């Protein structure tokens, strides 16, 4: 009567991965740092997509955001400043079976890493690049970055930054072979997760700019956080789907066709609001790692015959 009931038995996939399977060291980011929210969304993405940890790689450069691989229970490579993209491309071209993600800061990507960023767009390899844009060098304690707003006072610009900030969305949309560009903020996790999910499922180079708060060295985002009307959510095909609760808070939306690159470029320079969602997507752009894919797989037997053929070219004179 009280024995095991077969009807209550549930078969679980032995390879099911929980959130804990993607967690590693305890994050050392400052309380209130937007990197924490990005980490949570990425771990949720890995769990929902059931990405095997041993088949998943996170690559970073230098900066607060670049500690990301340390906190993921996957493979990771903490590289040099500005060099995350070529490392990730090397991993992907050699191991196309791996799921490759890149985490960079605004200085990491848009300053010393600019050349790699531009060519990564052109190569359009199948990986996801996340740029944590807090508009300041946080790890080195408040220096101006390429995306710092004009007039922003830092240790390197005590009288205020002189130049207009670099618009990484416009820049990315102007490069040959661009295939996926999105913009999102970390304090709306529902939208952040949706954008990252779409980026992962896109075939090609997915570029995601994430506006991210730095609680110690940059408070310019605080008014944006308090003002829901500062964000404009892009709806329609491949658009953001807000829950009923969030619709009560975020009321500004705009229908957008993500295949229209001219409209995407207009949104990238929008005044009076920040576009949230996928600005542009073109899955038809050629993917470099597929262009370089071998015509046929070389098996171990083929390798053995090739080696023996080389060895047969030589003889050892015992005399």
202 against 290, higher pLDDT: 202
Residue 245, class by beta-carbon neighbours within 10 Å (0-12 exposed, 13-18 middle, 19+ buried)? Answer: exposed
Q: Which residues, 6 or more positions from 110, have their beta carbon under 8 angstroms from its beta carbon?
A: 117, 131, 145, 146, 147, 166, 168
| 298: exposed, middle or buried (Cβ count in 10 Å: 0-12, 13-18, 19+) | exposed
Residue 91's SS3 state is: helix
Lowest pLDDT segment from 8-12, 34-38, 207-211? 8-12
Query: Regarding predicted confidence, which is higher, 89 or 81?
Result: 89
- Rounded to an integer, what distance in angstroms lies between the CA atom of residue 206 and that of residue 131? 11
Q: Considering only the C-alpha atoms of the chain, give the largest distance between any 2 of them, rounded to a whole number of Å.
A: 91
Three-class DSSP category at 103: strand
Q: Tell me the per-residue pLDDT of 27-72, one tens digit each, with 9 for 90 and over.
A: 999 898 999 999 999 999 999 999 999 999 999 999 889 999 999 9
Q: What is the pLDDT of residues 171-203, one digit of tens each?
A: 999 999 999 999 999 999 999 999 999 999 999
Any idea where the domains of the chain sit in the sequence? 14-311
> CB neighbours of 3 closer than 8 A, spacing ≥ 6?
none
Domain 14-311: give its CATH superfamily.
Thiamin diphosphate (ThDP)-binding fold, Pyr/PP domains (3.40.50.970)
Residue given tokens 């944006």 in the structure block: 224
What pLDDT score was predicted for residue 233?
A: 97
**pLDDT for res 1:** 45
- Decide if pLDDT at 291 tops 80: yes
Mean pLDDT of the chain: 90
Sheet of strand 253-255: strand arrangement: 75-78, 56-60, 99-105, 127-133, 205-211, 180-185, 274-281, 231-235, 253-255
Contacts of 95 (CB under 8 A, 6+ apart): none
Mean pLDDT value of segment 4-25: 74
Q: 35-49 vs 189-201: helix axis angle to the nearest 10?
A: 50
Tens digit of each residue's pLDDT (9 = 90 or more) over 63-72: 889 999 999 9
Task: Compute the distance between CA of residue 109 and CA of residue 137 in angstroms, rounded to an integer.
Answer: 12
Percent of the chain scoring above 90 in pLDDT: 68
**Does residue 45 contact residue 19 with C-beta atoms inside 8 Å?**
no
Nearest-angstrom CA–CA distance, 192 and 40:
10
Q: Rounded to an integer, what distance in angstroms lies between the CA atom of residue 66 and that of residue 274?
A: 25
Closest by Cα among 179, 183, 151, 180 to 165: 151
∠ CA 113-206-264 to the nearest 5 degrees?
Answer: 100
DSSP state of 192: H
């Amino acid at each position: 009567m009280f024995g095991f009931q077969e009807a209550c038995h549930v078969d679980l996939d032995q390879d099911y991965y929980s959130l804990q399977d993607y967690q590693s060291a305890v994050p050392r980011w400052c309380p209130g740092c937007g990197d924490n929210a990005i980490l949570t969304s990425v771990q949720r993405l890995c769990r929902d997509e059931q990405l095997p940890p041993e088949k998943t790689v996170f690559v970073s450069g230098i900066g607060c955001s670049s500690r990301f691989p340390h906190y993921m229970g996957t493979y990771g490579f903490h590289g040099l400043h500005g060099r995350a993209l070529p490392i990730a491309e090397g991993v992907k071209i050699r191991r196309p079976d791996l799921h490759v993600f890149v985490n960079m800061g605004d200085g990491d990507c848009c300053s010393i890493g600019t050349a790699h960023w531009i060519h990564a767009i052109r190569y359009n390899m199948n990986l996801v690049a996340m740029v944590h844009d807090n508009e300041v060098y946080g790890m080195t304690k408040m220096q101006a970055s390429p995306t710092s707003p004009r007039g922003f006072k830092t240790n390197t610009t005590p009288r205020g930054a002189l130049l207009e900030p670099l618009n990484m969305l416009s820049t990315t949309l102007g490069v040959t072979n661009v295939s996926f560009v999105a913009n999102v903020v970390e304090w709306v996790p529902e939208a952040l997760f949706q954008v990252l999910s779409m980026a992962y499922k896109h075939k090609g180079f997915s570029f995601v700019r994430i506006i991210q708060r730095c609680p110690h060295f940059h408070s310019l985002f605080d008014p944006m956080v308090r003002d829901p009307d500062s964000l404009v959510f892009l709806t329609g095909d491949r658009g953001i789907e807000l829950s009923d609760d969030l619709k009560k808070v975020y009321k500004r939306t705009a229908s957008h066709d993500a295949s229209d690159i001219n409209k995407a470029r207009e949104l990238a320079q929008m005044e009076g609001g920040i576009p949230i969602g996928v600005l542009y997507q073109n899955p038809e752009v050629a993917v470099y790692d597929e262009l370089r894919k071998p015509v046929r797989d070389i098996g171990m037997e083929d390798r053995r015959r090739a080696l023996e053929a080389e060895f047969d070219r030589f003889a050892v004179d015992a005399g």
